[in-house]
Amino acid sequence: MNGLGRIFTMTVGLKFLMAVSGFILVGFLVGHLSGNMLLYAGPDAINQYAEVLKKFPVVLWTTRIFLIIAVFVHIYSGVKLSVLNKRARPHAYAVTKRVKATLPSQTMLLSGAVVLSFTLYHLAHFTFRWTHKEEFAGLGDFDVHAMMVLSFQSSVVSSFYVLSIVLLMMHLNHGLVSFFQTLGVNHSKYNGVVKSLSILLSIILALGFISLPISIYFGFVS
Amino acid sequence: MRVTLKVWRQKSKDDTGRFETYTPQNISSSMSFLEMLDVVNEELITQGKDPIAFDHDCREGICGACSLVINGTAHGPQRGTTVCQLHMRSFRDGEEIYIEPWRAKGFPVIRDLVTDRSAFDRIMQAGGFVSVNAGGAQDANCLPVPKQCADKAMDAAACIGCGACVAACKNASAMLFVSAKVSQLSLLPQGQPERARRVLNMLRQMENESFGGCTNTLECEAVCPKEISVEHIARLNREFASAALVSEEG
């Protein structure tokens, strides 16, 4: 079997795929949050940002296809590894006590499934406008500001977004640290810095995303 | 002291197994955990019952034979030791103690608390050796090895192959074991000629033996009686990438 075959079939190779695709998606989250922060610069800023993105369809669709591939690779490797891992212990322990494992590291499949469900809802909500058809009916194609304000005035929608992002933070909390370990980046010289920066990035991303529904719901942005 | 034991009893590989409760008498806090099980077994034999089967050999923490999950932790609550080095003073008087075998598809239960760990032997047979004829004893410093590499190789070589890493991992992964064996040889000159083949063959064998993959939860490192670091798993990952993608040998 050649090298690429091993990457797609062996568990360590699948972990590489999961790590690299996950890192690409983290890169997207950084870009997405940076754009969303324009909400605080007023309606014109974020609406123009949305308009500019659509002005370059080739760039937009290339990025989208790249991200869709990353999502599929991440899900494929995650599901395949999870199935193998479940099979490896057919009989569970009566008592389990974790010594070092953190809650995020134990619940990656669950948090990942919730994040995936949230992502699909998020696309149906803002990209395809399926979930809030009537509320968004009179709005222009690029009136992102109004869509966000109308949506996040609802406590149900805001709570769902906040909860999903907390789970996303949990997922990233372990995922980012795991990315470096999986790619073999582990040395006592910098392990502390890598771990701290990974956790910091997951917290910054979560706080940034959570601030959007919260600031709208409590009327700081209207 | 008094303890209540909930011990996994299983007559054979095909038996479904169940927990049985024992309340042994004459237990001293100075006894080792295995000595306590010896006392239980003496009582069972006196009563004409089957003693509890459990693996043990050196009882000095170096052979890797003893293998019990005690109250959900491989090798019990004391860090950096095997079960045979664990003493009853680590438990409270009146405590309920669950004793289970290693649970993994790759380590099928043979009887009670004894598992078949020959999967590790087959992983070693797949590449955990140096087949190059090294000849007679070399002169000192003929093969220079940096001190740091020698130390790391020695740390990895401390692995006794007990399988606690598999028992503790939520995926029953043998990555810590394989990484220790791969690290030990990849850091030394004698391990270079078969370096790429070794990592690929050992990992493939690990998968063939039905062990899971690593999800970096660090439980293996936490329960390892020889405190092998997950740093070796990172090295294994680097060795795999190099062997799979760029090595002439792989």
**DSSP code of residue B173:** B
Q: Do B52 and B94 share a domain, yes or no?
A: yes
* Among A137-146, A176-185, A195-204, B213-222, the least confident range: A137-146
**The pLDDT value given to residue B44:** 97
Structural domain boundaries, residue B55: 4-111
Strands (E), B62-150: 69-70, 73-74, 96-100, 109-111, 114-115
Q: Do B179 and B73 share a domain, yes or no?
A: no
pLDDT over 90 percentage in chain B: 90
Q: Does the pLDDT of residue A220 top 90, yes or no?
A: no
Mean pLDDT of B113-123: 98
Question: In chain B, how many domains are there?
Answer: 2
Mark which of B111, B128, B150 sits at the end of a domain. Answer: B111
Structure tokens belonging to residue A125: 């909500």
Q: Do B128 and B98 share a domain, yes or no?
A: no
CA-nearest residue of chain B to A185?
B234
Nearest CB to A88; choose among B72, B211, B219: B211
CA-nearest residue of chain B to A178?
B216
Q: Do B223 and B123 share a domain, yes or no?
A: yes
Q: Do B129 and B95 share a domain, yes or no?
A: no
**The pLDDT value given to residue B250:** 61
Q: Do B72 and B181 share a domain, yes or no?
A: no
Nearest CB to B200; choose among A6, A84, A178: A6
**The pLDDT value given to residue B137:** 81
pLDDT over 70 percentage in chain B: 100
Q: Does the pLDDT of residue A128 top 80, yes or no?
A: yes
Mean pLDDT of A205-219: 95
Closest-CA distance of chain A to residue B157, Å:
19
pLDDT digits (tens, 9 = 90+) for B71-93: 999 999 999 999 999 999 999 99
d(CA A221, CA A152): 10
Residues A169, A201, A33, CA angle at the centre, nearest 5°? 80
Q: Do B56 and B157 share a domain, yes or no?
A: no
d(CA B156, CA B61): 16
Closest-CA distance of chain A to residue B136, Å:
36
Q: What is the ipTM of this complex?
A: 0.92
pLDDT digits (tens, 9 = 90+) for A61-70: 999 999 999 9
Mark which of B111, B134, B158 sits at the end of a domain. Answer: B111
**The pLDDT value given to residue A4:** 74
Q: Do B182 and B243 share a domain, yes or no?
A: yes
For residues A221 and B127, which has the higher predicted lDDT (pLDDT)? B127
Q: Do B128 and B10 share a domain, yes or no?
A: no
d(CA B2, CA B26): 8
**The pLDDT value given to residue A1:** 64
Mark which of B59, B77, B111 sits at the end of a domain. Answer: B111
Q: Do B183 and B92 share a domain, yes or no?
A: no
What's the first-to-final CA gap in chain A, in angstroms?
A: 59
Q: Do B243 and B168 share a domain, yes or no?
A: yes
d(CA B88, CA B150): 37
Nearest CB to B214; choose among A6, A15, A93: A15
- Taken as a whole, chain B contains a residue count of 250
Give me chain B's average pLDDT, please: 95
Q: What is the CATH number of the domain that holds B162?
A: 1.10.1060.10
Q: Does the pLDDT of residue A158 top 90, yes or no?
A: yes
Closest-CA distance of chain B to residue A82, Å:
8
Q: What is the CATH number of the domain that holds B81?
A: 3.10.20.30
For the entire predicted model, the pTM comes to: 0.93
Q: Does the pLDDT of residue B189 top 80, yes or no?
A: yes
Tell if the CB–CB gap between B231 and A90 is shorter than 8 Å: no
pLDDT digits (tens, 9 = 90+) for A63-110: 999 999 999 999 999 999 999 999 999 999 999 999 999 999 999 999
* Among A126-130, A192-196, B60-64, the least confident range: A126-130
Q: Do B165 and B205 share a domain, yes or no?
A: yes
For A47, A56, A127, A220, B124, the CA distances from A146, given in Å and listed in that order, are 9, 23, 14, 14, 64
